[in-house]
Every structure is written in structure tokens, then in C-alpha cells.
Amino acid sequence: MKLVIQRVSHASLEVNGILKGSINKGMVIFVGFGRDDNESMIEPVVRKTLKLRIFSDDKQRMNLSIMDISGDLMIVSQFTLYANTRGGNRPDFLMAMQPSLAEQFFNMFIKSCRSFYSGKIIAGDFGRHMAVEILNDGPVTIILDFDNGKTV
């Protein structure tokens, strides 16, 4: 499982040109699932993500989590995090999970986020073309790469 997490001041999400939702101060989480991922990874990854201290405290140190600031979350499925360009200039996605299973994992990821966090959560539509507008704060971008539940 791979995640790209961006701290944002604002973000919005459109599906087929229709606004699905927007968030204010919080995080946008792009998540991709690999073909070797398993269900048992989801809860620990969600817990780690929600506890990441990427928001500034009153001393301007990154010391607070999304839960500490009651920020907003936007979750977007992104299989392209598994792009492999070693064989040339056209990426392959052979290490990405099959779409039908990845959709189930994406839904479990969202459900797990909702079970541990009661703040505002907007989720993208799996497998649909989306327009994500992000106003980065910092910028702060964190990349998490998990292999069998362990950060690589």
C-alpha cells in the first residue's frame, strides 16, 4: 500500500465536472493498493496516517495530528502510485492490485478512516476520472510505502 499525503489549506474534488465536495484545513490522502497487500494492513495504516504529526503547534513545530486539529480529510484512490518506468518511458502498473479487489480495499480504507475519525471526510469515486484541486500548506507532502504492514 502506498500513500501520498499532502497538508492542505483547501482542496476540492470534482467527478465528471460535478463538485463532489471540498475540505478546508486538513489532509488529502492519495492511496494505491499493491497486488500483495492484504486486509490486515488497512487498520494499522489508517491509524498511522491519522496520527501523523504534520500540523504546526503554537511554536510552529510539526507536532499535531489531523485528530488534534479536527481537520478535514479527502481520500482519493490512485493506482498510478504503482507506476513502474524501469522498462522505458511508458509506465506499467503490473504491481497495482486488480481493480475489482482494489475497489474493495479502497472502501475498507474509507470505512476504517470513518471508524477512527469523526471529522469531515470526503472520498473520491473509485475508478472514475476526477479533478482534484489542492492548495498545499507548507508545502508538506509525506510519502508512506508499506510492505506487509511495515513502512519501507
Active site residues: 78-80
Closest residue by Cα to residue 83 from 93, 75, 74: 93
7, 136 in Cβ contact below 8 A? yes
Task: Tell how strand 2-15 and strand 26-32 pair up.
Answer: antiparallel
**Do residues 130 and 124 touch, judged by C-beta distance below 8 A?**
yes
